[in-house]
Amino acid sequence: MIRCKNGLKIKIVSANYGRTDDQVCPGGKTDTLTCRSKSSEIRVRWNCNGYATCHLHATSKHFGNPCANISKYLEISYRCVRNIDNDIQGSFIFMVSMYMHVHMYICMYIFSIFHPITSNCSAIPLFLLMNMIYNIWDVFVLWRHATSLFCFLLDKPIIAFNAYISKHLTLHRNTPVNVVYDKVFFNYGNAYNPHSGIFTAPSAGLYIFTWTSLVNPQSIFDAEILINAKRKGLGNCNNEGSPGFGNCANTVPLVLKAGDKVNLRTTTANFLYKEWSSFKGWKV
């Protein structure tokens, strides 16, 4: 787990799952020092950037197996920043500054070809100089927008989870209970809690939630989706009049504020089948 305190947020500098040092986590085979998972840095960025706390599992299941039979570990370098967007913009201001310097050198080189005696920009006619400045400015504006978009796409955290129940649920038909989907296939952003069954929105926006329910013959699983304990949608899976299994799916879009809590609660239910019944959600 990595953490930032006092309202600061995590900004990943670098990350690698593999082995580059034979003194770190020395158990097992350590004779390879060039072992790097190509996906580890982007996966860590997706999970951690912009959050105060980030839980990570250093396993080949999550990051792949870049070097078989080698003992591996996850190494992360990160900073705690006040505003991750401003921090990113600062890096790109430096890049743009370097970009403009490169253009100046190109300018001087071109001028030196046309005016080898003076070798400076003032020797060019004014209209040519102004035209070049306008062209450079257009390229600069285009570069600024392109890099901002690239930065947004690269560092935007993925918020998504896919959870399921690991044991059959046998319930009192008319007693509402919060449903806890206790196992996860994945949990990007760590916003879903498999112990409580509650999803906490890390940021404001539009989210999509869906749940699938498999029930036994003559069984029912009707449920409602809640935001901060208030109903925002209903899902029906009434199989009480059928001799076969029943399979149902429900999808609800929700506009959430940061910190809003979302979960499922039964309205009328007496059974839910393990593993085939799931709860999923993601930020659009």
Q: Which pLDDT tens digit goes with each residue over 42-90?
A: 889 888 988 988 988 888 888 888 888 888 999 999 999 988 665 544 4
More confident residue, 267 or 57: 267
pLDDT of residue 92: 46
Nearest Cα residue to 175 out of 107, 262, 269? 269
pLDDT of residue 39: 84
Give the Cα separation of 191 and 159 in Å (integer). Answer: 7
Both tokens assigned to 204: 């404001």
pLDDT of residue 128: 52
Average model confidence (pLDDT) across the chain: 81
pLDDT of residue 26: 82
What is the pTM assigned to this prediction? 0.50
**Predicted confidence (pLDDT) per residue in 184-202, tens digit:** 999 999 999 999 999 999 9
pLDDT of residue 103: 46
pLDDT of residue 96: 46
Nearest Cα residue to 81 out of 184, 5, 181, 139? 5
Give the pLDDT band of residue 101 (cuts 50, 70, 90).
very low
Both tokens assigned to 254: 């929700």
b (16+ CB within 10 A) / e for 64-95: eebbeebbbbbbbebeebeebeeebeeebeee
